[in-house]
Structure 1
Amino acid sequence: MRKIKDVLRLHLVGGVTSRRQLARTVGCGKSAISECLRRAAAVGLDRWETIAALDEPELERRLYPATAAPVARKPRPLPDWTKIREELARRDHQVTLSLLWTEYKAEHPDGYQYSQFVDLYRRFEKKLSVVLRQQHRAGEKVFVDFCDGIAMIDPNTGEHVPTQLFVGALGASSYTFAIATLSQELPVWLDCHVRMFEFLGGVSALTVPDNLRSGVSRPDRYEAEINPSYRELAQHYGTCVIPARIRKPRDKAKVEAAVLVAQRWILAALRHRTFYHLNELNAAIGELLDRLNDRVMRHVKQSRRALFERLDRPALKPLPSQPYEYAEWGQARVNIDYHLSVDDHFYSAPYTLTHETLWYRASHRTVELFHHGKRIGSHVRSFKKYGYTTEPSHRPASHRAHLEWTPSRLIQWGQSIGVNTAAAIEYVIRTKPHPEQGYRSALGILRLAKRFDPDRLERACEKALAIQAPSYKAIKTLLEQRMEAAPLRGAEPTTDDAAAHLGARNVRGRGYYH
């Protein structure tokens, strides 16, 4: 359903109408794209504001209500069109399409008939060596790519440090942006986009990158998948990412030309200079970039800047109020202690999701957790290795209650029954080596008030204190044997007398231990 939302956003917000482009961008089949758009139109989901307000289960319910599964039709075998074209090109034999179709039907009796066979081959033939001259609308597309930059000198070691040159070019005006980086890693790739949009002063409707690993998680001619962080950047700026096809430089010919121009007019001009810091290099690139955009292009008779001011700048979308903050997306499994690991730190999730696999978004400040597209938790980012960050509401009620137990809280609870009950609980807790060892006994005494009358419990605690045996078992025995009201045998009974009253067995008495 996340892909379906991307399809509808590209179609309704980005203005992408080509099913093939949509399929290539989100990684779905073209028929699935057509079916998705048809269903959305049928149920009246034609506004992005309405779709964005729906969660994924509701969107799925509206678009794909439960219906009987259609019977799959067995596809017909397709001929090897490349081999057929080679056979037709042979000069030593007069091979015709009719003969090749006869051979095809002999091998595949359930294959296509002759007229459809010929029609499919003609369609294949039309796709060969086709060059489309793209017409770019103002503010519609920005093309981005990397190329090798010039080497710097490490001031500490004297070694050569290679750099990369990020280049972006608008489609209508060819207005160019360039910046040097030390790598093509994901954080650098995203930061270059942030700087490019700030340089342009606006955002284009579409962004066309190469199939760089940092931008495209799984490069594929037909089903390329966009990196989650890159997709998030696109959503933040309101642009749509449509990667070029693999090994198809004509899809991004605009930036290929911009890279060539940058290499000639920027990198070549700096070839005799020595740079020791990246900021120093980018300052020099910025000066030459201004000159490049101010140069009058020979064929257009205008500069890139003049075209930009006239065409692209008025059509660009405004920048968001805050620049994009880099965040990493990943998946982690919730452990039995209802915590999951992000960069070797453990964050809590709702205990009901134990053993579930959740998506997380980790920025420099926060870690957000998602389940089926819904945000179900957020924590302040911690970089303490193997530490724990826990939200109390994520714990089960029994765990919260246990952690909330304190000696004073249990004594105060006993005070609500009576002073003797509170005194018995205080005695139980304080006679243990650690207070938590007495929590269970104290809770047992308090819960006796649910089985017996609180007044009886108060008298039983008073008697247990008098015989110096204020324990859970002693008080429980007094209540069960209805001995809380029985008179004491002496003013100061011994421990042996108390044991006799309580009916305890195998009690050796105080003298045994001397």
Structure 2
Amino acid sequence: MINYREILRLNSLGYSQRRIEASVHSSHQTVKNVLEKASAQGISWPLEDDITNAILGEMLSDRNTRTNSPYAEPDFAYIHKELSKKGVTLTLLWQEYCEKCRTNGQQPYMSTQFGDKYRRWARVTKATMRITHKPGDAMQVDWAGETIPYYDTVTGEEYKAYLFVAALPCSCYIYTEACGDMKQENWLLCHVHAYEYFGGVARLLIPDNLKTGVIANTRYETRLNESYRELAEYYGTAVVPARVRKPQDKSIVEKSAGFSTTWITAAMRERKFFSLAEVKAAVAERLEIINTMPFQKRPGNRREAYLNEEKEFMLPLPRVPYEPAVWKQATVRNDYLVSDGQNKYSVPFDLIGEQVQIRLTKNTVEVFFKGDRVASHQRIATFQTQPVVKPEHMPEKHRRYLRYNADDFRAWAKTVGDSTETVMDHFLKSGSSPEQGYKNCVTLMKLGEKNGKEKLEYACERMLELSSVPSIRTIAVILKNGKEPERKTTFPADSEKYGITRGAAYFKKGGDRNA
């Protein structure tokens, strides 16, 4: 029997045909035919151990001389090419093969034999990748295990850069990016950059079960993180997480992550970086080297395979890149404010005590309650002490407080009286700015509304008699005592010209005072 395996092995080692003939004890024509047919069908060494000489003999034998088989041999190369097209399956191709056989008066293989023969052919010719992974069908994503160190130029402190990896299983085309952390915002941004790098979107998105993407993945349900679901919806792709503890579900990205570790992390082990930007630039350079590196077992490289076999099957990119959004939950407190982690923003006051969802992007803060958007703010990049509050979110009393100003306070006090005006002016001038006295001014107005302007004027007058530094607490106490203001006694206008009306005798010692 011809030793097909040994002929292919020796040929891969560069042996001459004459030496191969001598080694395997086969004729010149036999070795020549084996090598020519193997080359024509794309069969090359190394082969898997279970690819026997019998299997190779069946594949490399001349189909035109097979007069003992009543079945028509399928054109496996054609089948393989058609399978790469969107929507084409082995079942469809078998039906077309059967119709062609009936037209030519030939007998077709049954569907099971048809599939087995094709899979064997694809396995021997190393074409199995196209069986499992159709072009444009999936993008697998993960974080690489190794990190890249970089250092602070002043303190020398060491930081870590994490490597994101995305891979297209059909062409093995990959995208890598260095990030300062593995948090959700970087996770989402890396997806956006990967789609931009590929120039298209795969039909499926296959991540691991990390919490930044998948909340739960059980036999009964798959619950995605809201931010991740939103990204997939925006790009028109479907997230299908790998099964828990089943790395083979995303084997290509697992291999690509290991490949990236070797050709990026290990290749740059002698370089010292002093910023994350330097790491990012170096990773981008190494990425181009990886994608243009020739394949070991087939012609071309990753980029050529992608451009020639896969790019046309990718979904188109949206006109505007997705802006990553991070979702979080919060309970609205009594100040009707929510936080983005740095600054505070208002929501309608009637949501106090309710649980809301906060959607954070780079430029906006949106708040949702039961699926409806109830508030939207422009996000502030730097920290500020004062919250961002919209008047329409405030209760009426708080809105009225916002409308107050120093001139309005003074104008109101003038309608009450001089003492009230003096007290009000003191409150406005007592601090470094008028706003610091607004609280006392508002309280003084409320006291006037509750007790009446006349009583308030009296209380302010008494306050000024007691102290040159008015206190709102003291004015409130005076009003609480309920003492009515003393009314001044009026005399006839001509009484003053007489002076003292009692005579001198009245004041004379020992005089009769009743006189």
Residues in 2 aligned to 1:208 and 1:342: alpha-carbon distance in whole angstroms: 30
Alignment of 1:133-152 (within 5 A): 135-149=132-146, 151-152=148-149
Change (3 A) 1:240 1:152: same
For residue 273 of structure 1, what is the aligned residue in structure 2?
A: 270
Q: What is the Cα deviation at residue 332 of structure 1? A: 1.6
Residues in 2 aligned to 1:438 and 1:491: alpha-carbon distance in whole angstroms: 40
Per the alignment, in what secondary structure is the counterpart of residue 191 of structure 2?
Answer: helix
Per the alignment, in what secondary structure is the counterpart of residue 208 of structure 2?
Answer: coil
- Indicate yes or no: 2:190 matched with 1:197: no
Per the alignment, in what secondary structure is the counterpart of residue 389 of structure 1?
Answer: coil
Residues in 2 aligned to 1:288 and 1:166: alpha-carbon distance in whole angstroms: 14
For residue 393 of structure 1, what is the aligned residue in structure 2?
A: 392
Change (3 A) 1:200 1:491: farther
Of residues 245, 248, 259, the one that matches 2:246 is 248
Per the alignment, in what secondary structure is the counterpart of residue 376 of structure 2?
Answer: strand
Q: In 2, are the aligned partners of 1:332 and 1:342 still within 8 Å (CA)?
A: no
Change (3 A) 1:319 1:425: farther
Change (3 A) 1:346 1:299: same
Residues in 2 aligned to 1:245 and 1:382: alpha-carbon distance in whole angstroms: 39
Q: What is the Cα deviation at residue 141 of structure 1? A: 1.5
Of residues 434, 459, 473, the one that matches 2:427 is 434
- Indicate yes or no: 2:178 matched with 1:180: yes
TM-score (norm 1): 0.52
For residue 49 of structure 1, what is the aligned residue in structure 2?
A: none
**Letter of the 1:434 counterpart:** F
- Indicate yes or no: 2:201 matched with 1:212: no
Alignment of 1:363-402 (within 5 A): 363-379=361-377, 380-381=379-380, 383-384=382-383, 387-402=386-401
Q: What is the Cα deviation at residue 206 of structure 1? A: 2.3
- The C-alpha deviation readout for 1:361-393, integer Å capped at 9, x for no partner, is 233433221111222112333653764221111
Residues in 1 aligned to 2:222 and 2:150: alpha-carbon distance in whole angstroms: 38
- Indicate yes or no: 2:353 matched with 1:355: yes
- The C-alpha deviation readout for 1:266-321, integer Å capped at 9, x for no partner, is 455x1663232454454444444334333454555443222322343233334345
Alignment of 1:98-113 (within 5 A): none
Residues in 1 aligned to 2:493 and 2:381: alpha-carbon distance in whole angstroms: 62
Q: In 2, are the aligned partners of 1:141 and 1:206 still within 8 Å (CA)?
A: yes
Q: In 2, are the aligned partners of 1:428 and 1:442 still within 8 Å (CA)?
A: no
Larger radius of gyration: 2
Change (3 A) 1:170 1:151: closer
**Letter of the 1:148 counterpart:** G
Per the alignment, in what secondary structure is the counterpart of residue 434 of structure 1?
Answer: helix
Per the alignment, in what secondary structure is the counterpart of residue 144 of structure 2?
Answer: strand
Structure 1 unmatched runs, 5+: 1-14, 17-130, 415-420, 450-456, 472-487, 494-514
Q: In 2, are the aligned partners of 1:411 and 1:426 still within 8 Å (CA)?
A: no
Q: Give the number of equivalent residue pairs.
A: 336
**Letter of the 1:391 counterpart:** K
Q: In 2, are the aligned partners of 1:294 and 1:305 still within 8 Å (CA)?
A: yes
Residues in 2 aligned to 1:430 and 1:158: alpha-carbon distance in whole angstroms: 62
Per the alignment, in what secondary structure is the counterpart of residue 203 of structure 1?
Answer: coil
Structure 2 unmatched runs, 5+: 1-85, 88-127, 429-438, 463-474, 476-489, 496-515
Is 318-327 or 141-150 further displaced after alignment? 318-327
Change (3 A) 1:279 1:303: same
Change (3 A) 1:327 1:409: same
- The C-alpha deviation readout for 1:317-348, integer Å capped at 9, x for no partner, is 34345444444321221122322344264322
Q: In 2, are the aligned partners of 1:153 and 1:274 still within 8 Å (CA)?
A: no
Alignment of 1:412-431 (within 5 A): 423-424=415-416, 428-431=420-423
- The C-alpha deviation readout for 1:172-224, integer Å capped at 9, x for no partner, is 32211123345433333223223212211222232111112332234545434
Change (3 A) 1:295 1:161: same
TM-score (norm 2): 0.52
